Structure 1
Amino acid sequence: MAKTNAGNFFEDYKIGQVIKHAVPRTVSGGERAMYHALYPARHALYSSDEFARASGLPASPMDDLITFHTVFGKTVPDVSLNAVANLGYGEGKFLKPIYPGDTLRSESEVIGLKQNSNGKSGVVYVRTRGLNQNDEAVLEYVRWVMVRKRDLDAPAPETVLPDLAKVVDPADLVIPEGLDFTNYDFDLAGESHRWGDYEVGETIDHVDGVTIEEAEHMIATRLWQNTAKVHFDATFRPDGQRLIYGGHVISMARALSFNGLANAQMIVGLNGGAHANPCFSGDTVKAWTEVLDKAETSAPGVGAVRLRLVATKAGAEPFALKGEDGKYLPDVLLDLDYWALMPL
């Protein structure tokens, strides 16, 4: 009997199926240090215990995207090991900050299936929850991924497409307990721009760029224990290139957005996201943001701002997203719609 795991293929998934993912992961200060080494991440709340305490938190939490990558990485062997591509995200909520010493695990429910017209693959929708050592949910989100079929003659399942909200309602955003930006130190944070300084419809060019390196991408993918073949095995794709993990692009773009959004401290909602085009080693990533909406919160001195973060290859036309055909322009890598918390 085979002891190894070839991963799930499209025909293996069933609506309502619940998958408990291996292996739990205890995070430490090492993850934070590595994250800040891989990306130019420097938001103050995630860099300084003293800044976090002045903002009402017990210490500096781990970057939100460390939580996302860790939870996501657990799901890969069961959900996307045989993926062609990760297609999108929705209904994401960060429910509780995590700190060094917390242990995270993941579980997913299959909520949608649709076989592609070519009969060789299909799209699987899962709702994933990340839980800590106390069985408290710290993160939940939906993602959909294109997965190969093992048996091309396997019958297509009944198509089920989940009805997903386009935007997480601001009233449903979870504000970390104790968060208070009343005495926020703008000098230490790095910029003076506050919630009231941003207008809906405003666009921000984040100016800086970072060239993606093969070694850094591979370190990141291993760090989050992401075992998807397209990221590791150069023989898995016809072009012989390893695909850069989409989360690597997300973190790079988020870090670049510091220049212009240094006070967008915490990600609390993920409204939607698409990896518009593949990214490969040698591509230089740049980023721009559009302000989509704003909302007040119940936390003292804290406002929420809805942002569209777009990562592009260097040389892309500024603030251009889609062509006349409605499709993403070829130099667009990422289109991410999220809620962040910012001082009023």
Structure 2
Amino acid sequence: MKTNSGNFFEDYRLGQVIEHAVPRTVSGGERALYHALYPARHALHSSDAFAQSCGLAQSPLDDLITFHIVFGKTVPDISLNAVANLGYAEGRFLQPVYAGDSLTSKSQVIGLKENSNGKSGVVYVRTQGSNQNGDVVLDYVRWVMVRKNNLDAAAPETVIPYLAKVIAPDDLAIPQGLTFANYPTTLAGEPHLWGDYEIGEVIDHVDGVTIEEAEHMMATRLWQNTAKVHFDATFRDDGQRLIYGGHVISMARALSFNGLANAQMIAGINAGAHANPCFSGTTIRAWSEVLDKAETASPDIGALRLRLVATSAAGTAGQLRDEAGKYLPHVLLDLDYWTLMPR
């Protein structure tokens, strides 16, 4: 048999290392398509001249382009037979990716837990994305629920890895040369800097975008994500194609420009959950909560810890869980991340 039907839960082994195909050289094309698919406007990722005024040689690709490409390469080996992608932790963006860089991915299985129904299980993997020089550009953990093919296969020993709830600010990587000492707020789009945000502040990003089936499928193909659940309408019992969770992340991040235009770079992902499924026709809105603030080694760069929430209902900023602690039905995404911002 020459075709790949993907790995099932019983195929994974603790400590297993998987080198993912296919290497990919990125260009300005990824940036152009990304900005066509999402309302992304952060200046550092839009203009070479702006990036050069901030000490970089040229404009790096949007951080989530790196995430999607590295993630997409893992899908044929990790989540081709997934029921759902469940969460993220310990994500660090270690250096920017520029047009001309070539990216590869590899993952290590760090945890396994069969579900009580015996039909699926949760696989924990740590994935690294590297450039053509072997430098790691992105490192993160995710866990995904994967179907079993042989329901009689013995359950593995349950191992759930310890994962830090928050990346320590000192462990965040500041790109070499990055400076916000002469930061042009007018060109960036908003005057609000690191010192203007207060812990506990909630920002309603106001705008909304309706998810279209064709655009979602184009985006998911762009990242070479081949998960059946996103393309095959017969794969789910309800006959719907599940919107790739990263598509929701990028849409929410782009919408957050309105109120966080100076949150220029994602430095780390502390935690993330796709709280409820998203389908075509859903209008995504977003709000953010300031969870923490930290100084960095650079006197002109601050780190802002944000909770980014994507929702399918207008006027729900600040609403996340019910009295029992369960996510409200309109919450699509709960993402806890660090961003770099001028002080």
Matched, 1:155 2:154: yes
Deviations 1:242-262 (A, max 9, x none): 000000000000000000000
Structure-2 residue corresponding to 1:335: 334
Q: Is the CA contact (8 Å cut-off) linking 1:220 and 1:248 kept in structure 2?
A: yes
In 2, the alpha carbon distance for the partners of 1:237 and 1:329 equals 23
CA shift at 1:325, angstroms?
1.4
SS of the residue corresponding to residue 42 of structure 1 reads: coil
Alignment of 1:1-344 (within 5 A): 2-315=1-314, 317-344=316-343
Question: What is the Cα-based RMSD across aligned positions, in Å?
Answer: 0.6
SS of the residue corresponding to residue 327 of structure 1 reads: coil
In 2, the alpha carbon distance for the partners of 1:317 and 1:253 equals 14
SS of the residue corresponding to residue 89 of structure 1 reads: strand
User: Please, what TM-score do these two structures have when normalized by structure 2?
Assistant: 0.99
In 2, the alpha carbon distance for the partners of 1:61 and 1:343 equals 17
SS of the residue corresponding to residue 69 of structure 1 reads: helix
Q: Is the CA contact (8 Å cut-off) linking 2:18 and 2:107 kept in structure 1?
A: yes
User: What amino acid maps onto 2:134 in structure 1?
Assistant: D
SS of the residue corresponding to residue 287 of structure 2 reads: strand
CA shift at 1:300, angstroms?
3.9
Percent identity of paired positions between Structure 1 and Structure 2: 77
Q: Is the CA contact (8 Å cut-off) linking 2:321 and 2:327 kept in structure 1?
A: yes
Q: Is the CA contact (8 Å cut-off) linking 1:287 and 1:309 kept in structure 2?
A: yes
User: What amino acid maps onto 2:33 in structure 1?
Assistant: M
SS of the residue corresponding to residue 139 of structure 1 reads: strand
CA shift at 1:22, angstroms?
0.3
- For the structure 1 residues 206 and 126, does the alpha-carbon distance in structure 2 shift closer, same or farther, using more than 3 Å as the test? same
* Structure 2 residue ranges without an equivalent (≥5): none
Deviations 1:26-50 (A, max 9, x none): 1000000000000000000000100
In 1, the alpha carbon distance for the partners of 2:170 and 2:315 equals 36
Q: Is the CA contact (8 Å cut-off) linking 1:31 and 1:66 kept in structure 2?
A: yes
In 1, the alpha carbon distance for the partners of 2:97 and 2:166 equals 24
User: What amino acid maps onto 1:27 in structure 2?
Assistant: V
CA shift at 1:314, angstroms?
2.6
CA shift at 1:298, angstroms?
1.2
SS of the residue corresponding to residue 65 of structure 2 reads: helix
SS of the residue corresponding to residue 64 of structure 2 reads: helix
Deviations 1:90-111 (A, max 9, x none): 0000001010000000000000
SS of the residue corresponding to residue 244 of structure 1 reads: coil
In 2, the alpha carbon distance for the partners of 1:139 and 1:263 equals 22
Q: Is the CA contact (8 Å cut-off) linking 1:209 and 1:314 kept in structure 2?
A: no
User: Please, what TM-score do these two structures have when normalized by structure 1?
Assistant: 0.99
User: What amino acid maps onto 1:21 in structure 2?
Assistant: H
SS of the residue corresponding to residue 215 of structure 2 reads: helix
SS of the residue corresponding to residue 209 of structure 1 reads: strand
User: What amino acid maps onto 1:334 in structure 2?
Assistant: L
Q: Is the CA contact (8 Å cut-off) linking 1:49 and 1:60 kept in structure 2?
A: yes
SS of the residue corresponding to residue 37 of structure 1 reads: helix
In 2, the alpha carbon distance for the partners of 1:154 and 1:50 equals 57
Q: Is the CA contact (8 Å cut-off) linking 2:8 and 2:147 kept in structure 1?
A: yes
SS of the residue corresponding to residue 304 of structure 1 reads: strand
User: What amino acid maps onto 1:165 in structure 2?
Assistant: A
* Structure 1 residue ranges without an equivalent (≥5): none
Deviations 1:133-189 (A, max 9, x none): 011000000000000001001010000000000000000000000000000000000
SS of the residue corresponding to residue 10 of structure 2 reads: helix
In 2, the alpha carbon distance for the partners of 1:126 and 1:63 equals 24
In 2, the alpha carbon distance for the partners of 1:133 and 1:281 equals 36
CA shift at 1:316, angstroms?
5.8
Q: Is the CA contact (8 Å cut-off) linking 1:285 and 1:312 kept in structure 2?
A: yes
Count of aligned positions:
343
Q: Is the CA contact (8 Å cut-off) linking 1:179 and 1:300 kept in structure 2?
A: no
In 1, the alpha carbon distance for the partners of 2:308 and 2:284 equals 12
Q: Is the CA contact (8 Å cut-off) linking 2:202 and 2:317 kept in structure 1?
A: no
